[in-house]
Structure 1
Amino acid sequence: MLKNWFTKENLAVTLLLVVLMVGVQVLYSAEIISPFVMLNLIIIAINIILAVSLNLVVGFTGQFSIGHAGFMALGAYASAIMSLNFNAPFIVSLLVGAIVAGIGGIIIGIPTLRLRGDYLAIATLGLAEIIRGVITNIDYLGGAYGLMGIPQKTNWLWAFGCMLVTVLVIKNFVQSSHGRACVSVRENEIASEAMGINTTKYKVIAFTMGSFFAGIGGALLAHYITFIEPNAFNFLKSFDILVMVVLGGQGSLTGSVVAAIVLTLISTFLQSLAELRLIIYAIILILVMLFRPQGLLGTHELSFKLLQRKRGVSHGSHSADA
């Protein structure tokens, strides 16, 4: 699966991103980048993790899940408990949060992924709300008041590093034979079963991977804002993540990245108008469904080759006009 990554273009992009990660950290250490800008960069990185992981489920496998915030909550609370009550190193807390969310994905995915379409959406939404309700009623987890005093371990290097790993792992997965099986399930589940593909198996694999990385996103957020409460992971959070996937393109990882950046910046500019933010999100979703149902990039990935192809088409059209 890793061989798909070792191309000149992918290695060049990875190197460029690593340079960007280090460069931003240097600028922040030199106080050229303000804490407010850094806060938004970290939130963008976390949102990219959430959007890309949900895209694996919704975009590449075709399973309409709107309960992603529930797995984010599992990762956030599990990692917070490890840090607060067991004084675990951050990497251990992060992994425990991801594993707990992944296990939750398996437990929830096996029965629900036999459903399709609207039934699956309702089931995942309901189960995510059940997770939130259970957390609310457990005093050990802080109940409705949440958990406070979580160590602030998340920084730019951790957030960007986890984002990079998430994108690389999911990118290599979707380009592997397993990923192609997931895409075949999305395109035609009945035909996939007729060809001998265990559709339930691949749906559960994708769902578990998506849940695992949602747990990482939740753990990073918990260790950055240092306070979490059940209401932070309600259905509106799942809706926010889903809008990123739909806007960027279901089946496009780079589309999810672009959409996460754009929508996070919009949310930042509208911080004082929380209700207006939800209205704008709804308007964006409606406009996308009407005029660009495939999203900004559809199933395409933004790459040097794609840009060169677009440039070539543009030059060709100018030559024809001349």
Structure 2
Amino acid sequence: MVVNMLKVWLGRLGMAAVGLLILWAVQTYMLPRLNDYYQIILINAGIAIILAVSLNLINGITGQFSLGHAGFMAIGAYVAAYFTKEVGSQMVDPLNFTLGLLVGALAAGFAGLLVGLPSLRLRGDYLAIVTLGFNQIIVSIIRNLKVVGDASGYTNIPRFTNFAWTFGLVFLCILTVRNLATSNLGRSMRAVRDDEIAAEAAGINTTQIKVLAFVFSAMWAGVGGALQAHFIQYANPTDFSFLKSVEIVVSVVLGGLGSITGAALAAVGLKVLEEVMRSVPGVIWTCLGLIALSTYWSYAKHRAEISRGVSGIIAWLAGPVISLFIVAGAYFFAYGFLESSRSQLRNILYAIILIVLMLVRPQGLLGRAEWSLKRRGTRSDKAVMQA
């Protein structure tokens, strides 16, 4: 048995070494050929994945509702930035950044513990209000700390974040959350999500489970904040407001509560969508893609009507066809207006897209399923039962 365990761990270490080698090769030989603008999008998407997957552990797998993720992100960002700039500046860069990430993660996790112990006896909306209040308290404290630049922000942070660091931590985040979700602890988290009273009756310490989920999630939020601060070389309290927490929650809900790959895909999709909609052609293509997806997802709802004849097909396609005419009319007859007011319309359209997606796909992109190369649509709960 010891020999088998040794083989398993050697195999895992070998895969990790191969992964690190691939990241190094991409960072060294491929990234320099890529436009700086696309490199920024890639790294921002990677940070968004870490934040969404970590919050999914609380909101999706454990079934709680937190609105304070940006607060933990802020703690990780400021603590890591202070360490790398003021404490570890004499160290070699990789060691300095590694220790900074670790210190930031531990600080965020400790904050999660402090918030979790008194507040996670609450449920639902009450827990959301407490975590929202925590987010506001953290931002207010940072805004008045002169040692980290108070309201002006913390500047001259060393730039350590790159593609290799970001996506190495992305894979580690997804792997650890996935392993946690399929462990005995993950089964207990799902039991709390499905029926907290029944879980308590079965002997599960629900408060302890929720605190552990909160601490683990907060640590990864701190890592995400540290990566962001060491990428843009600046940290400001306004970057970690309530709206940032909402943005992360939207990624989790849109991807599917409980789906790790769904949260990751939604985080990437929303970051790309923000950039695509900076131009009018991008807005038009986004609208056309949304109409196509809505038509596809609404087919199941209209299947019975479609089988009855032409009237059912008309009922199914009426909305998409009208939407196509509206988009075409706006493009051909109101292009100048769209061009002049695209910054305002971009935010409105972004909200409309999210509303439409939630109406036609309320369970999210993947629901509770996980995307897999071997078998698409495998439900994570079934995978847990088979493990």
Output the amino acid matched with 1:220.
Answer: L
Judged with a 3 Å threshold, the aligned counterparts in structure 2 of structure 1 residues 71 and 27 are, in CA distance, closer, same or farther, namely same
Tell me which residue corresponds to 1:21. 23
Asked if structure 2 preserves the Cα contact closer than 8 Å seen for 1:77 and 1:219, the reply is yes
> Does residue 53 of the first structure (1) align with residue 54 of the second (2)?
yes
CA shift, 1:116, in A, is 1.1
Distance 2:16 2:255 in 1: 21
Tell me which residue corresponds to 2:45. 44
Q: Which moved more, 1:244-253 or 1:286-295?
A: 286-295
Distance 1:11 1:303 in 2: 23
Distance 1:80 1:138 in 2: 14
User: What secondary structure is seen at the aligned counterpart in 1 of 2:374?
Assistant: helix
Tell me which residue corresponds to 1:63. 64
Q: What aligned pairs does 1:167-206 form with structure 2 within 5 A after superposition?
A: 167-206=174-213
Distance 2:274 2:160 in 1: 24
Output the amino acid matched with 1:268.
Answer: E
CA shift, 1:203, in A, is 0.4
Asked if structure 2 preserves the Cα contact closer than 8 Å seen for 1:72 and 1:101, the reply is yes
> Does residue 306 of the first structure (1) align with residue 375 of the second (2)?
yes
Q: What aligned pairs does 1:127-276 form with structure 2 within 5 A after superposition?
A: 127-270=134-277, 276=345
> Does residue 279 of the first structure (1) align with residue 286 of the second (2)?
no
Segments of 5+ residues of structure 2 without an aligned counterpart are: 90-95, 280-341, 379-387
User: What secondary structure is seen at the aligned counterpart in 2 of 1:45?
Assistant: helix
CA shift, 1:289, in A, is 2.9
Tell me which residue corresponds to 2:93. none
Deviations 1:58-90 (A, max 9, x none): 000011111110000000000011012113511
Tell me which residue corresponds to 1:95. 102
Distance 1:73 1:257 in 2: 21
Tell me which residue corresponds to 2:87. 86
Tell me which residue corresponds to 2:131. 124
Distance 1:244 1:49 in 2: 11
Distance 1:140 1:15 in 2: 39
Asked if structure 1 preserves the Cα contact closer than 8 Å seen for 2:369 and 2:377, the reply is no
User: Identity over the aligned pairs, expressed in percent?
Assistant: 47
Output the amino acid matched with 2:129.
Answer: I
Q: CA RMSD in A?
A: 2.5
Asked if structure 2 preserves the Cα contact closer than 8 Å seen for 1:244 and 1:260, the reply is yes
Tell me which residue corresponds to 2:313. none
Judged with a 3 Å threshold, the aligned counterparts in structure 2 of structure 1 residues 274 and 224 are, in CA distance, closer, same or farther, namely farther
> Could you state the TM-score of these two structures normalised by the residue count of structure 1?
0.87
Asked if structure 2 preserves the Cα contact closer than 8 Å seen for 1:27 and 1:33, the reply is no
Runs of 4+ in structure 1 deviating by more than 6 angstroms, as ranges, are 10-17
User: What secondary structure is seen at the aligned counterpart in 1 of 2:244?
Assistant: helix
Output the amino acid matched with 1:299.
Answer: R
> Does residue 32 of the first structure (1) align with residue 33 of the second (2)?
yes
CA shift, 1:119, in A, is 1.2
CA shift, 1:280, in A, is 3.7
Tell me which residue corresponds to 1:314. none
Output the amino acid matched with 1:25.
Answer: Q
CA shift, 1:108, in A, is 0.6
Number of residue pairs aligned between Structure 1 and Structure 2? 302
Distance 2:15 2:261 in 1: 12
Distance 1:140 1:227 in 2: 14
Q: Radius of gyration: which is bigger?
A: 2
Distance 1:296 1:184 in 2: 23
Distance 2:81 2:166 in 1: 16
CA shift, 1:16, in A, is 9.1
